[in-house]
A and B are shown apart, each in its own frame.
Chain A
Amino acid sequence: MPLLQTREVTVRFGGVRALDSVSLSADAGVVTGLIGPNGAGKTTLFNVVTGLQAPTSGHVLIDGANVTGYPVHRRARLGIARTFQRLELFGSLTVRENIQTAAEIHQLGSRRRSDVGALTDSILDRVGLDRYAGAAAHTLPTGLARLTELGRALATEPRLLLLDEPGSGLNSAESEQFARLLASLAAEGTAILLVEHDMDLVMQACETIHVLDFGLLVTSGTPDEVRADARVQLAYLGQSDTVSTQAGS
């Protein structure tokens, strides 16, 4: 059974359908891509899965159980963690404190008591932020800030990780390093849903890709299938010029 399933999720903002009956899934141990042009509804879907946005209709299932009515923090305790396209860092805390506080919040909700300090250090090391541990988060350049958000999400030891454009702000070496990190997280059994404009990163990291356009699920499949799909080329890859400009900005 997939770890995450959305069943016919629809979100309407006034007359606009941000999501139109979207059903997709993400499996444990797999990096699943979610791509589409700007305004396709990717972030809205993340908001629906994490509980920040109530769907107009449809359901969100975790391990097959309906969690649509659950508040945000309760879903997090089921093992959902995310990063944000528009950064939501704890700006006045240091990088280390950002991750430590996330681990501490996670501990509040569970009976297990692990060593927060050791966990924080291992995450700093893993995402490659150990050298910036003492820097105040609001001073970070975008790439490092996104890594800090990732580290913060990892501190909750998630089973489902939603990453909203984590690659923007990374240079190509960092981007490759990032792809390896995603692969190692997936190898540990984490389900990863990746929203990303950097097509190289998506094609390299993802096993399955869902394509959204104007709130509709256009297609789902392997990178090769998606690349070959005419509808995708029309909706998205056909505008590869604009895509690469956006990814580069």
Chain B
Amino acid sequence: MTANAPIVVERLTRSYGTQRGVVDLTFTVQPGEIFGFLGPNGAGKTTTIRVLMGFLRPSSGSAHVFGLDCWSQSTEVKAHVGYVPGDVRLWDNMTGKQFLDFMGAFRPSISPERRRMLLERFQVELDKRIKHLSRGNRQKLALVQALLHDPPLLILDEPTSGLDPLMQHEFLTFLREERDRGKTIFLSSHQLPEVERVADRVGIIREGQLVAVLTVDELKQRRTRPMDVVFAGPVDPSEFADLPGVRVLAVENGSTRFRLGVQDDLPRLLRRLSDLPIVDLTYAPPDLESVFLTYYQAEQRERQEAAS
């Protein structure tokens, strides 16, 4: 099963001279799942994807797509893959239609119905020259060309960047539909909420190393969402001490302004807040740093335990 899995990466290292790329990555992407590849900018997501696409040769280790070696069999690999690069740069002098026709000419079977459906769904501008298109419209062209030939595997590097929120939502909905049709999707992103919305499993990469591979439910347990609360008068921080999924991160302005880290047990927290003289509340989306913080703290604890 694993041997011909959509993506198998084993002990993959790729460096750029003395610069770090990725180090000793191992993970597998299973058929019919959306695998989120999550990490801050410069973490090594794009390097990994370029190895998968056969643009870069691994320094050591291996990467396989459907059992095919990504470097020596990259032509065959690309027959099974729809790809959107992280930095979409198209041929400026082509029109959108020329671009899609050109990219489609290399694929043996593109259904006109699918092409029509994609163009309608993503509202792609076909007649303008690409140099006159907005960033979002260029991104949509890149997405459509990756989906045109209905590939079994999509490799998408930050695919929603440049899209407006409505189109982002539409695209993520489309990805879930594709997953339900049995497609496998490798989605790189630095936005935790986006990955949480669509992914089944998540690989977290930082400074070139894979920190963890988790299900989305496991991820949700490990991250915290920041909540900023303003009270009419001073509040004792011990009010939150008995709430297990809540930590006080900062207290300011004479104990009237709190920043809380909320990992769990939101209903109890809201009940507690309603008993206090609350005047304002901001509940921010979860961020990636809070996930890393969880792992640092765990690592620190392990080191301390080992030292003692």
User: Does A pair with B?
Assistant: no
